[in-house]
Structure 1
Amino acid sequence: MTRWPGLLPGHRPDPGGPAIRSRNSRTSIPTTAEASAWAEVLVRRHLLHTALLAPNGQWLVQSAPEAPVRVLDGPAALVDLAAQIQHHTRTTRNHTR
């Protein structure tokens, strides 16, 4: 079981569900440096167990030591995962207040 309910590989939000608009639309594709910074923060804050950049540019991530390893296709996928985790963390925190 993952630490982020509903964030399974290939999971996409329901197209009929509420849309969450970004305050700042991206004007560039995420770089490896940006993805590396996000990976470091997620691991340091214990939101990911590990995140490793493979030589082919893919990211190998694991939510917990016993969780399966997920393969993400490049920096954009890792930055998207960081956004999903951040959104989940914020919405969960707001519901428990």
Structure 2
Amino acid sequence: MEQIPLPERSYREINENRRRLLRLAYSSYPEYVYCPREQYGWDDPEGRANIFDLYYLHDRGCVEVMNGGADSRRRPDFFILTPHGADLVEIPGNLDKILPLED
């Protein structure tokens, strides 16, 4: 498999995408968010960035990611908000502290 690199992104762009994913999980709760391969795939830079950011949020405890083991790389199938992720969105100032938009 060819390794697709992460796209060059500014700190602001990275945190904007992470905020977008977190808000998507928040607006969908208590349902899972489906991860279509077109948006969460290893074969294009934007999909790779979404995978990277989603697993970052997972490792921070903001979302829980469910993935299948069908191929050799981790690819998310679904994700859902955690209580910590809800606190980031709901408590004023938390999102700016953890995912600031200043470069």
TM class by shorter chain equals: 0.3 to 0.5
Task: Determine which structure has the larger helix proportion and give its number.
Answer: 2
Q: Per chain length, whose mean CA-contact separation is higher, i.e. which structure has more relative contact order (CA < 8 Å, sep 6+)?
A: 2
TM-score normalised by L of structure 1: 0.32
